[in-house]
Amino acid sequence: MRRPSRALVVGILSTACAFAPSRFLAPWTNDLGSVVWIPFAPLGFTFSTVRVWLRPPIADLDLTSPVGRHLVSERDRYRGLWHSERIANDELRKRLESVSRARIDEPELTVALVTAPVIALDGSARNPLLRIGQGTNASIQVGDIVLYGGDALVGRISAPISGTSATVIPVWSPASGRMDARVIDPSGGPNVAVQVTVGADGVMRAELAQPIEVPNEIEVRLSDRAWPPGAQGMLLGVVKGSERADQRPLRKTLILEPAARRVGLDWVVVKTPVGRRPV
């Protein structure tokens, strides 16, 4: 019996491959093509570089065509989704940082931390108030303290309070009254006791009992027994300057900038006593 010639076998195989459905070819031909490309690759890369140098590719997609419009709308949609996810991510990160920093500041935690969005700035310019999006449903009650970033004191919860929202009297409101505090010198100097008040002009001031120099950007932290334990040591503000009152020229008054006011308040953390049940 005569053996079939090589040409016949190759011809039949070529025809079979040429007309074979893709599902039979897909598992191996692309890989085989990649292997065949190996000896061509060095020259191919060189020629590609020369080609791009001679004729740089130009974007020739017509954005007014149906395909172009579809691509643009898809791009915008996914760009919007990406931005909204990024914003949601940022908010979650801020909340997480606030909670984790508050926990570090109070290792023997006797309070529960409730994150709440700032939903409105109520009150007047002279008597500012904040409205937050958590209330008695989250065990928040009048007198609880409100922080930002886990360290900066925002104020105290005040009436009116509902199940889903609560009012905060910020520390930069005259309604906060006098607050005892300490000027904390980070270079190890004496921690001077001061009394912090907010004037009718809305400026937070601390009167120094001793004639000492206090540089700017020094922190002033709360040390007032009238406030709950969770508020002690929280940052009230930083020194932005000093002045001398005409009536008492020997006493220096520090001008403070409230720490929580330095940032755009979006989320705050409320410290509520552990074990309190929702009202």
Partner 1 sequence: MRWTVFLIGLLVAGSIDRSFMPVFEVRGVVPALIPALLAFVVMHAPRTTALWAAWWAGLCVDLLTPIAVGPGALAVPGPWALGFTLAAWTGVLLRGVLFRRSPAAFALLIFVLAAVASLLWTFVFAVRGWYPQEGFPWPGSALGMFGTRLLDALASGLIALPLWWPLERWISLWGFPAPALRRR
Binding stretches for partner 1 (CB under 8 A): 7, 10-11, 14-19, 21-22, 25-26, 29-30, 32-33, 36-37, 39-40, 43-48, 50-51, 54-55
Query: Which tokens belong to 226?
Result: 């009238």
Is 12 or 63 the residue whose CB approaches partner 1 more closely? 12
Is 55 or 225 the residue whose CB approaches partner 1 more closely? 55
Strands annotated E in the chain:
111-123, 128-132, 145-148, 152-161, 166-170, 179-184, 192-198, 204-208, 219-222, 235-244, 252-258, 267-273
259: β partners: none
Shortest reach from residue 51's CB to partner 1, in Å: 5
Shortest reach from residue 61's CB to partner 1, in Å: 15
Residues 6+ apart with CB under 8 A from 265: 118, 130, 148, 154
Shortest reach from residue 7's CB to partner 1, in Å: 7
Shortest reach from residue 43's CB to partner 1, in Å: 4
Helix (H, G, I), strand (E, B) or coil at 57: coil
Query: Which tokens belong to 207?
Result: 């009167």
Is 25 or 226 the residue whose CB approaches partner 1 more closely? 25
Is 61 or 121 the residue whose CB approaches partner 1 more closely? 61
Is 10 or 121 the residue whose CB approaches partner 1 more closely? 10
- Smallest CA-to-CA distance from 115 within 234, 265, 231 is with 265
Hey, how many other C-beta atoms are within 10 angstroms of the C-beta on 29?
13
Shortest reach from residue 71's CB to partner 1, in Å: 17
Is 25 or 120 the residue whose CB approaches partner 1 more closely? 25
Task: Please state whether 202 falls in left (phi above 0), alpha (psi between -120 and 50) or beta.
Answer: left
Is 5 or 124 the residue whose CB approaches partner 1 more closely? 5
Shortest reach from residue 54's CB to partner 1, in Å: 5
Go through the chain and tell me how many residues it has.
Answer: 279
Shortest reach from residue 78's CB to partner 1, in Å: 21
Q: Under a CB-based contact definition with an 8 Å cutoff, are residues 129 and 218 in contact?
A: no
Q: Tell me the torsion sign for CA atoms 136, 140, 144, 150.
A: negative
